[in-house]
């Protein structure tokens, strides 16, 4: 076994900030040594003087190589997990997608075949349930046996992924029976489809109409409804990619009632805004669902406060990149044909480091919680993942807090031809990244292996109240 020691750094977890050397044996952390402890013999010492040592970050919501309309998201598991590693992320949770008429277990097996042997970092899955029927419900038990303990349903996209309230409730009943968690894409798809059809009929075809036909109230409405369905059935519910203040309020109110309701937001909803869609067809670069919102209405403020104060628990990405040329342009004359999704997986953790260090949005400890520890607990990976502790996997991100980086399509590693954060300067540079004791990024260079990442069988939600 190879022993490594990370020396001289400041270790930051969700609860502690401490000067400590991190001793690693093979794939695991085996010691945290105070400054006055004599250094043990090791095979490799990594100098982290003046550096912050964080747990490897967890992106609990990515979509590598998935179809959306006529396009397929550009990052494969290979390119997407490598880009994630560059950004200090050492675990992703992606999604097998059962479409209408598909076998559920078949979709799991297909996604496993794509990811296994092709991921630079460890990965788990949430299962998308796109066709609720007796066969699917039976197959859910098979997926559960594979260590998938969370299931995603949609109140959006009628005719594609949409489930009726009764179908959502049926899967929630099943989840309540075994303790697994239901993820919800909460937007009122039926009302939104009406607005979309009306916009196209009156000739409103530009990317801005994408956002204007998905009002925040319809995100709040759907969140309210699915939280009540969760209360009726007893299943824990986790609302994904929250963009609207109304949803933050729904989750806060539900949690005060003692309901196991949880919320995730993404960097795009914190840093990007409605106006970015209002620049002719260039706005297609910012088309995602739910859409970017008007900060004048207080959405960003509510999301930041939710993350800092605990009403929201997780920051993920919904990473789903499409090239501008050739993919986003499919919707040049009709916004409904623009593939939905943004490239974010590489930048989530650096943006959160910046938010803590430079903007003072929250403490570094709270930053680690929302970006690593809480996702690990929410999705049954803690304490193997999500912290720096004796016995945890040696997944680490070493950051120079004094360095600056500028985000750009020229320098990013995601397999997509534009950046939605072009030109943004961040404080903090990810220097070294380790996954299960192996260095995968060194001084900003990828030195990992395409087949390093392992499938993670997950336990149940550890954040239930
Ligand atoms: Zn998603």
Give residue for tokens 């303790």.
179
Q: Radius of gyration over alpha carbons of the chain, in Å?
A: 21
Q: How far is CA 325 from CA 102, 408, 413, 415, in A?
A: 31, 17, 17, 13
Tell me what pLDDT residue 1 has. Answer: 64
Specify the CATH number for 1-465; select among 3.40.1010.20, 1.10.3720.10, 3.20.20.140, 3.30.365.10.
Answer: 3.20.20.140
pTM: 0.98
Tell me what pLDDT residue 114 has. Answer: 97
Q: Which residues surround ligand 1, an ion (CB under 5 A)?
A: 318
As a whole number of angstroms, the distance between CA 5 and CA 24 comes to 6
Q: Is the peptide bond before 100 cis (omega within 30 degrees of 0)?
A: no
Q: How far is the CA of 105 from the centre of ligand 1 (A)?
A: 19
Tell me what pLDDT residue 150 has. Answer: 98
Q: How far is the CA of 328 from the centre of ligand 1 (A)?
A: 17
Tell me what pLDDT residue 424 has. Answer: 98
Q: How far is the CA of 25 from the centre of ligand 1 (A)?
A: 36
Q: How far is the CA of 140 from the centre of ligand 1 (A)?
A: 19
Q: How far is the CA of 431 from the centre of ligand 1 (A)?
A: 29
Q: How far is the CA of 318 from the centre of ligand 1 (A)?
A: 5
Provide, rounded to the nearest whole percent, the portion of the chain with pLDDT above 70: 100
How many residues are recorded in the chain? 465
As a whole number of angstroms, the distance between CA 12 and CA 452 comes to 25
Q: How far is the CA of 160 from the centre of ligand 1 (A)?
A: 14
199 with 157: CB under 8 angstroms?
A: no
Q: How far is the CA of 144 from the centre of ligand 1 (A)?
A: 20
Tell me what pLDDT residue 180 has. Answer: 97
Q: How far is the CA of 183 from the centre of ligand 1 (A)?
A: 10
| Token pair recorded at residue 375 | 């996702």
| Token pair recorded at residue 36 | 């006055």
Q: Is 270 left (phi over 0), alpha (psi -120 to 50) or beta?
A: alpha
For the chain of 465 residues, list the mean pLDDT of each consecutive stretch of 10: 93 98 98 90 97 98 92 97 98 97 96 98 98 97 98 96 97 97 98 98 98 98 98 98 98 98 98 98 98 98 98 98 98 97 98 98 98 98 98 98 98 98 98 98 95 98 96
Q: How far is the CA of 238 from the centre of ligand 1 (A)?
A: 12
Q: Is 410 left (phi over 0), alpha (psi -120 to 50) or beta?
A: alpha
| Token pair recorded at residue 126 | 């949430």
Q: How far is the CA of 7 from the centre of ligand 1 (A)?
A: 38
112 with 145: CB under 8 angstroms?
A: no
Tell me what pLDDT residue 69 has. Answer: 85
Q: How far is the CA of 420 from the centre of ligand 1 (A)?
A: 17
Q: How far is the CA of 241 from the centre of ligand 1 (A)?
A: 7
Q: How far is the CA of 403 from the centre of ligand 1 (A)?
A: 32
Residue ranges per structural domain of the chain: 1-465
Q: How far is the CA of 331 from the centre of ligand 1 (A)?
A: 20
Q: How far is the CA of 269 from the centre of ligand 1 (A)?
A: 14
């Amino acid at each position: 076994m190879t022993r490594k020691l990370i020396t001289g750094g400041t270790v930051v977890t969700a609860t502690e900030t401490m000067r400590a050397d991190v001793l690693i044996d093979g794939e695991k952390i085996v010691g945290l040594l105070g400054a006055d402890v004599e250094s043990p013999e090791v095979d490799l010492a990594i100098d982290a003087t003046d550096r912050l040592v964080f747990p490897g970050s967890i992106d609990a919501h990515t979509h590598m190589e998935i179809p959306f309309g006529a396009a397929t998201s550009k990052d494969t598991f290979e390119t997407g997990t490598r880009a994630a590693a560059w950004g200090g992320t050492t675990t992703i949770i992606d999604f097998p997608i059962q479409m209408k008429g598909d076998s559920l277990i078949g979709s799991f097996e297909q996604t496993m075949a794509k990811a296994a042997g092709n991921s630079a970092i460890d990965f788990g899955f949430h299962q998308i349930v796109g066709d609720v029927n007796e066969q699917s419900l039976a197959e859910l038990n098979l997926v559960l046996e594979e260590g998938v303990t969370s299931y995603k349903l949609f109140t959006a996209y009628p005719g594609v992924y949409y489930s009726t309230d009764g179908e959502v409730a049926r899967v929630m009943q099943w989840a309540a029976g075994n303790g697994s968690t239901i993820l919800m894409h909460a937007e009122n798809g039926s009302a939104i489809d009406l607005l979309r059809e009306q916009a196209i009929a009156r000739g409103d075809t530009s990317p801005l109409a994408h956002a204007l036909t998905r009002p925040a109230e319809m995100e709040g409405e759907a969140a309210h409804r699915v939280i009540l369905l969760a209360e009726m059935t007893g299943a824990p519910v986790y609302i994904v990619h929250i963009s609207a203040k109304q949803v933050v309020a729904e989750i806060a109110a539900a949690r005060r009632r003692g309901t196991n309701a949880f919320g995730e937001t993404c960097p795009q909803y914190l840093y990007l805004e409605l106006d970015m869609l209002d620049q002719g067809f260039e706005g297609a670069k910012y088309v995602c669902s739910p859409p970017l919102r008007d900060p004048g209405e207080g959405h960003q403020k509510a999301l930041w406060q939710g993350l800092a104060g605990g009403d929201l628990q997780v920051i993920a990405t919904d990473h789903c990149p499409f090239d501008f040329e050739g993919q986003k342009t499919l919707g040049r004359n009709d916004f409904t044909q623009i593939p939905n999704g943004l490239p974010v997986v590489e930048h989530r953790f650096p943006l959160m480091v910046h938010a803590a260090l430079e903007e003072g949005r929250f403490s570094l400890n709270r930053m680690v919680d929302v970006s690593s520890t809480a996702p690990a607990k929410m999705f049954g990976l803690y304490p193997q993942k999500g912290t720096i502790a004796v016995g945890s996997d040696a997944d680490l991100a070493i950051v120079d807090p004094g360095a600056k980086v500028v985000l750009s399509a020229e320098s990013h590693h995601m397999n997509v031809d534009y950046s939605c954060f072009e030109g943004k300067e961040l404080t903090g540079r990810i220097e070294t990244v380790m996954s299960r004791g192996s260095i995968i990024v060194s001084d900003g260079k990828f030195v990992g292996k395409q087949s390093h990442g392992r499938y993670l069988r997950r336990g149940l939600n550890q954040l239930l109240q």
